[in-house]
Every structure is written in C-alpha cells, then in structure tokens.
Amino acid sequence: MLSKTFIIAALAAAVTATPIAQGQSSSWASGAPAATVAPSSAPAPVSTGAPAAVAVNPTAPDGLVAKLLTEPNTVGRFKEIQSQLATGTINLKFDFNPAANPAITPGAGGQVDLAQRANFPILTGTGISAAGIFFNPCGLNTPHFHPRATEFLTLVTDTKMLSGFVLENGLVSEFNTTLTKYQGTVFPQGSIHFQQNLDCQPAVAIAGLNSEDPGASSVAQNFIVNIDPEIVDATLGFPNEINADNFAQFKKNIPTPLAKGVEECLQRCHIAY
C-alpha cells in the first residue's frame, strides 16, 4: 500500500515538474549582467533595472583549501587567507547574484548559489555556509536533504513561499509553513525538504547552513535515477506503472533542481509546461 502511494506521488511529482523549453525570464537577477561576466550556457537574465557591474566570484586556487585545513591553528589559517586576499586570488565577499556564478547551470525553475568551503575558502574551519536561492515564477526547489547541515532559510522578496520537511523515520508527517517577505524557517539536518515559490513573479531566499561543506542530495533524482533499476523496482513494490518500457522515459522527465513548479501554480501564472 505504502509503495503504491509513493509511486503515485513520485509519478505526480515527475509529471508536474517536467521541464520544457528554456526561455522563462530569469528576472531575479537584479542588475543587468555587465560585460565583465563570463559567458554562460544560461539564458541571459532579463532586467530593466540600473545596470550594475557584476564580477564573477573567483575560483579558489588548487590546493588552497587542503592547505588551510592543515594549518596548525586559526591564526595560521587566516595569515594564509590574508596573503591570498592580498594577491586577489580569493575574495572576502561572495556575490550570490546568478550573474556572478556562471558555472551554475540553472534548472527550469531557478538556481541555487551556494557559498561553501570549496568556492569560498575563507569559510574553511568556520563550520558555516550560505545559499542564495533564485526562484523563477512557480519555481520548485525539489525535495532534497543536506547530509551535514541544518538550514535556516529566509525569504527576502515580497512573495509567498511554501516550504516543508519530513524529519526522519519515526516522525514522517510533513511539517510545512508559508513564508512571506523577511520570514524564515528551519530544515533540520538530514530532513527531506522543499521550497515552492507560489508567486507569478521571481523570488529570492537566503539560507544559512551550519557546515562549511553541507552537501545536498536530491531525493527523486538520486533514488529513481541513480540507484540500480532493480533495486528501485523492488523498493517500489514492482509497480505496473513503471516498467522496463517506460522507465527510461520516466527517468528522463525528472528535472534538475530547481524544477519548474507545481501544476496549479504554472496554470495560475500562465506558464507553459
């Protein structure tokens, strides 16, 4: 019975979140990208705002994080950071603007820009990271968990956002809440959680995570796509709905995060899907 319910839910999620042609305006980028921005595969964000020069976040030099991790103490670590700052190989600030993060390929529903140890080495040893999450209208940050961090997410735009989590085995009812501007909520470490922009306009949330290397694991993507099909089949109770003939198609339709959004929102906002 349980697996049946899961299949239906999984199918519904996959179907409603099916990505289609790109081209949705990604107007969450507040400033027009300046000529200094490296070319990216992403569609250029449309903006009518005042143009702002956006510098791409620097790539950490090879071996720097490893070196920082082996400094005998914090002063030694920050002396190394200081010398790297002086040569301009790393920055003391991180720009969450998607235009400053061209290496990230957006999903149909938006993108997550995570400042973590690997791309913002000053975080090494601090036990913290932060994300800027940029949602297109209706954008869905699909259910995922962070193996090494609890997350505190705050909505910063004047929009509505549904968020929810399921803690773990033993307490599996969904905790959920709707956020408006400047309201925040928490997703406990390891809990499966999501955020859904309920508005027909872009939204931005900023999140802090209590690990410099929080990690993320997308539930549907990693379970249905990346676990051996025989195991998935058995786990789902050998469903009739997913079989050898349609499984490849089924897998192909599972979107990358962020997904386009739920059907009700896409219809209300007149977004093709």
Ligand X SMILES: *[C@@H]1O[C@H](CO)[C@@H](O)[C@H](O)[C@H]1NC(C)=O
> Which residues of this chain interact with ligand X, rule CB under 6 A?
162, 164, 173-174, 176
Nearer to ligand X, 87 or 173 (CB): 173
Nearer to ligand X, 169 or 173 (CB): 173
- Distance of alpha carbon 121 from alpha carbon 82, whole angstroms: 11
Concatenating the DSSP letter of every residue in 108-140 gives: TTEEEEEE-TTTSGGGTTT--EEEEEEE-TT-E
Nearer to ligand X, 171 or 272 (CB): 171
Nearer to ligand X, 14 or 68 (CB): 14
Q: Provide, rounded to whole angstroms, the least separation between the CB of residue 242 and ligand X.
A: 24
- Distance of alpha carbon 142 from alpha carbon 218, whole angstroms: 7
CB of 257 closer than 8 Å to CB of 114: no
- Distance of alpha carbon 190 from alpha carbon 9, whole angstroms: 21
Nearer to ligand X, 33 or 143 (CB): 143
Q: Provide, rounded to whole angstroms, the least separation between the CB of residue 32 and ligand X.
A: 36
Q: Provide, rounded to whole angstroms, the least separation between the CB of residue 108 and ligand X.
A: 21
Q: Provide, rounded to whole angstroms, the least separation between the CB of residue 7 and ligand X.
A: 18
List the 151-155 sheet strands across, edge first: 110-115, 129-135, 203-209, 151-155, 184-187
Q: Provide, rounded to whole angstroms, the least separation between the CB of residue 26 and ligand X.
A: 26
- Distance of alpha carbon 180 from alpha carbon 169, whole angstroms: 30
Nearer to ligand X, 41 or 173 (CB): 173
Q: Provide, rounded to whole angstroms, the least separation between the CB of residue 166 and ligand X.
A: 9
Nearer to ligand X, 51 or 264 (CB): 264
Q: Provide, rounded to whole angstroms, the least separation between the CB of residue 15 and ligand X.
A: 17
